[in-house]
Amino acid sequence: MNPVEEVVARASKVILGKERQIRLAMACILARGHLLIEDVPGVGKTTLSQALARLLGLEHRRIQFTSDLLPADVIGVSIFDRENSTFRFHPGPIFSQIILADEINRASPKAQSALLEAMEEHQVTAEGETRPLPVPFFVIATQNPLHQVGTFPLPESQLDRFLMRLRLGYPDAKAERELLRGEERRDLISHLEPAMTAAQLLELQRSVTATQVSDALLDYVQALVAHTRVSPKYAQGLSPRAGLAVLRASQSWALMEGRRQVLPEDVQAVLPAVVGHRLHGTGESQKGGFDAAADLLTAVPIP
């Protein structure tokens, strides 16, 4: 079994009945994108992110975002060293390969932006000195839906930095029964063994960009993006960055499907997760991002 399938299979044993979401999360990581998991508390957001971190065999840290979190709590601080009479930088939790940013929308915008800047730049500037972050570097953030009490919604510009946004949803009856019967999830996670090495992961990431993208497929991606820009059903069209994100995620999905070339089906598989947080419906319906993305799929014929 190839390492990707191994990761998916093992994670599926911890998060029951959510194989599709796990595959999407994996596709996101292979496409070198950051992942946002959004859902009500208690459906396994944190469990999923922790399971992934362990299975990928990467060094990971968890930051619990709270309303009093300060940027320094994320990035690190310089502390005066009496022996050498100098300031010494104590790196924060951000200096690890996988960051689990829990309940990111509970923190103040200031703390949020500290993380989000690091996500974009892959480096951190503290006290006038720029420090690179480790490679690979991922953020798996979780957040509560926006109507929950005590949240600071992420602005659209920062949402854009996440390649995908996933929603887990409630488990079905069978999975829930198994969950209620089974072991404590945290114990399961602590017993998880890595399914791949960092080197394997980097190799896979390189293969993603090597998958074949034909002109016909680019036509399709462009048609999708163009549709959101002219159709009155969307409040705002997709940006070129969003189009690029769709393409990278599709490539990654094609690779996971074991294909060298990207097909429209790959685009369709990742599209709701990739554009869901970048689209808003208009008019009387005012559909949320996921529904708007689903509408988009059936509105654009494959050229």
Partner 1 sequence: MSGALPNAALDVRNVMWLLASMAFVVAPHLLRQPEWVGAFFAAVVSWRAWIAWRAARNPPRWLVLVLTVAAVAATLFVYRRLTGREAGTTLLVLMAGMKLLEMKTSREVVLSIHLGFVLVMTNFLFSQSIPLGFYMLACVWLFVATLVGYHRGVGRTPTVRERLVPAGILLVQAVPLMLVFFLLFPRVQGPLWAIPQDSRAGQTGLSDTMTPGSIAQVIQSEAVAFRVQFEASIPPYSLLYWRGPVLWRFDGRTWRIPDANAPGTLEYTRAERPVRYAVTVEPHNKHWLFALDVPAELPPMSHVRQDLQILSVRPVTTRIRYELTSYLDYRYEQGLNRGYRRLALSFNENRNPRTVALGRQWAAESSSPAEIVNRGLRYLNTQFTYTLEPPLLTSDDPYDEFLFEVKRGFCEHYAGSFALLMRAAGIPARVVTGYQGGEVNPISLELIVRQADAHAWVEVWMDDRGWVRVDPTAVVMPSRIDNGINAALGPIGVIPSLIAADRFGVLAKVSFAWDALNSQWNQWVLGYNVDRQRQFLSKLGLELNDWKKLALWLVAATIAVGGLVGLGLVLRDLPTRREPSVVAWDRFCRKLAAAGLARMPWEGPMDYLARIEAARPAAAAEAREITRRYVEARYGDGLSKAATRELLARVRRFRPAQVPGGLRT
Q: Which residues bind partner 1 (CB under 8 A)?
A: 146-147, 153, 156, 212, 214, 216-217, 229-237, 260-265, 268, 280, 282-284, 286, 297-302
**Cα 197 to the center of its chain, rounded Å:** 20
Q: How far is the CB of 162 from partner 1 (least distance, A)?
A: 16
Question: DSSP for 36-57?
Answer: EEE--TTSSHHHHHHHHHHHTT
Q: How far is the CB of 5 from partner 1 (least distance, A)?
A: 19
Q: Which is nearer to partner 1, 186 or 241 (CB)?
A: 241
Q: Which is nearer to partner 1, 70 or 146 (CB)?
A: 146
Q: How far is the CB of 265 from partner 1 (least distance, A)?
A: 4
Q: Which is nearer to partner 1, 91 or 237 (CB)?
A: 237
Q: How far is the CB of 253 from partner 1 (least distance, A)?
A: 12
> Which regions of the chain does DSSP assign to beta strands (E)?
34-38, 60-64, 76-81, 86-91, 98-102, 123-126, 129-132, 138-143, 162-166
Encoded tokens for 289:
């991002």
Q: Which is nearer to partner 1, 179 or 297 (CB)?
A: 297
Q: Is 272 left (phi over 0), alpha (psi -120 to 50) or beta?
A: alpha
Q: Which is nearer to partner 1, 147 or 181 (CB)?
A: 147
Q: How far is the CB of 182 from partner 1 (least distance, A)?
A: 33
Q: Which is nearer to partner 1, 153 or 194 (CB)?
A: 153
Handedness of CA 3, 8, 13, 15 (dihedral sign): positive
Handedness of CA 11, 54, 192, 144 (dihedral sign): negative
Residue 92 neighbours by CB under 8 Å, 6+ apart = 72, 73, 74, 75, 76, 77
Q: How far is the CB of 176 from partner 1 (least distance, A)?
A: 29
Q: How far is the CB of 71 from partner 1 (least distance, A)?
A: 24
Q: Which is nearer to partner 1, 50 or 228 (CB)?
A: 228
3-state SS, residue 119: helix
Residue 19 neighbours by CB under 8 Å, 6+ apart = 8, 12
CA distance between the termini of the chain = 35
